[in-house]
Amino acid sequence: MSASVPNPGQPGGPLVAGPRDPEHDPAASYALEPAYVEALLARVLATSGESREVRSPLDGAPLAHVPQSSEADVAEAFARARRAQEKWARTSLEHRKAVLLRLHDLILERQEEVLDLIVLESGKARKHAFDEPLHVALTARYYARTLHHHLGTTRMPGVIPALTRVDVNRVPKGVVGIISPWNYPFTMALCDGLAAVAAGNAVVAKPDAQTMLSALLGAELLEQAGFPEDLWQVVAGPGSRTGTQIIERADYICFTGSTATGKLVAQGCAERLIGCSLELGGKNPMLVLADADVEKAAEGAVRAAFSNAGQLCVSIERLYVADAVYDRFVERFVARTEAMTLGATLEWGNDMGTLISQSQLDTTLAHVEDAVAKGAVVRTGGRARPDLGPFFFEPTILEGVTPEMTCFGNETFGPVVSIYRFHDEAEAVARANDGEYGLNAAIYSRDGHRARALARQVKAGTVNINEAFGATFASIAAPMGGMRSSGMGRRQGAEGIVRYTESQSVATQRLMRLAPMLGMSDQTYATLMTGSLKLLKKLGRA
């Protein structure tokens, strides 16, 4: 694996002041303009007087002190959001469409700035940061172009043909609480909320404390695109406090994070009888079938396992490879992994960046050390790399992982993948379905028809054929979410916007009332209706 050291030259975007002190610290990276940070932080509704320091995982240096919201601030955020939502819900779908399309253009225009901020806060490689503005722009455009299809009033058959008209409206729920994670700080802060405001709701957002700035830049872009000032409120604070306060006030909750926390969110929503969608953990499998193109599968496995240093909900952590290609695949997978360029920098050219925190590094290291102590073999990687960054860990491939090892069934959420040999496809599917999760899977095969048939047997909300994860995630018209302990509900597609609405049926009755009339008795009316039901069945009426 080749390493990239931070470049003390010109940074990529306008928000970066330059190297901190490369003369005295060769590993120094970049600082943010104080005025830029101050402008972003002004978007947090916070009057508590408390703050939380945020440091860059690139070099551990401070980025900002984020003000923390009090319970009164959260209440005020909801009050502002509700006032804004009442007006916003009356805007036309055409107006919302125009605003979404302006957002699409703004994100692409300010892409370099977005990328700089994402990399500074999360430590990911720039090419993986690029996935985020791309995904948000795709989301904005998709819902702009499909608003009428998803939200327009639809006609349904009435009980009496021609005499009963039924219209079904989609009514916004009100104020949606968005609790987003740190691993994709720009797209996860925005993509779910975009569908919510497109449906006529307001949003109160609580981004993760480690990556507030990327989320705040997103809020700025929303306002510049033309969304009303108070429609999108941002609060800050620990999930146990601020997240709970959001659940106590919202009309719907969208949460992305761990399964353990997701269960607590679901309990809080159940007590208030409000809906929620939860995208949670995964221990995602990839199947490499006997007829797979080995080179393509090895390339896909590198992206599947090591994108964003494995800190990706749909990341592959289990690889099942057919006997016939196992040795060739492992050879090519190891070679491609060892050829990766590692670096904690803002520049393009790195294949993998750093983990985000000491906690993530500790978990990753503990999983690898436990596996090795119990007999697993490290084919490549397996070491922390403090020479590259404080939380850097090499991309790691393990063989011989067994059920008593921690990483066998528990999500690592780091650059670690276990590889297994299988003898027949039924066995591979059964092993892929082991455990409690069911978020994402991948299958590599030259026979697309057979692979799609096999995909139906895999218990996962998304399955990618001859691709790691991007084919489903970037196809915004397709729903994305998990089965079993990987969550409930879906983002993207029709389900991704309809979840933020209530269906309202409006029936208009003409001429004939649904009760006896013209002097007929109740019995005569019952006989008439019974005959009508039999006739409608013969006519094929639903």
Residue-wise pLDDT for 184-238, tens only, equals 999 999 999 999 999 999 999 999 999 999 999 999 999 999 999 999 999 999 9
Residues annotated catalytic, as ranges:
279, 313
In this structure, the strands spanning 275-279 and 487-488 are antiparallel
At 160 the pLDDT is 87
At 229 the pLDDT is 92
CA dihedral 141, 147, 149, 151 (to 10 degrees): 150
Measured CA to CA, the distance from residue 320 to residue 289 in angstroms comes to 8
From the options 3.40.1160.10, 3.40.50.2300, 3.40.605.10, 3.40.50.970, give the CATH code of 30-53+66-280.
Answer: 3.40.605.10
Q: 284-479 maps to which CATH number?
A: 3.40.309.10
Q: How confident is the model at residue 6 (pLDDT cuts 50, 70, 90)?
A: very low
Residue 62 in contact with residue 53, Cβ under 8 Å? yes
Residue 502 in contact with residue 173, Cβ under 8 Å? yes
What average pLDDT does the structure give for the chain? Answer: 93
At 79 the pLDDT is 98
Runs of H (alpha helix) within 321-447: 323-338, 358-373, 406-409, 425-432
pLDDT digits (tens, 9 = 90+) for 471-497: 999 999 999 999 999 999 999 999 999
Q: How confident is the model at residue 542 (pLDDT cuts 50, 70, 90)?
A: confident
What φ, ψ does residue 379 adopt, rounded to 5°? Answer: -80, -30
Nearest to 180 by CA among 202, 209, 200, 201: 209
At 31 the pLDDT is 75
Q: Please check the confidence at residue 11 and state whether its pLDDT lies above 70.
A: no
Q: How many CB atoms lie within 10 A of CB 146?
A: 17
- As given in the structure block, the two tokens for residue 252 are 């719907």
pLDDT digits (tens, 9 = 90+) for 136-163: 999 999 999 999 999 999 999 998 888 9
Q: Please check the confidence at residue 27 and state whether its pLDDT lies above 90.
A: no
Domain boundaries, the chain: 30-53+66-280, 284-479, 516-542
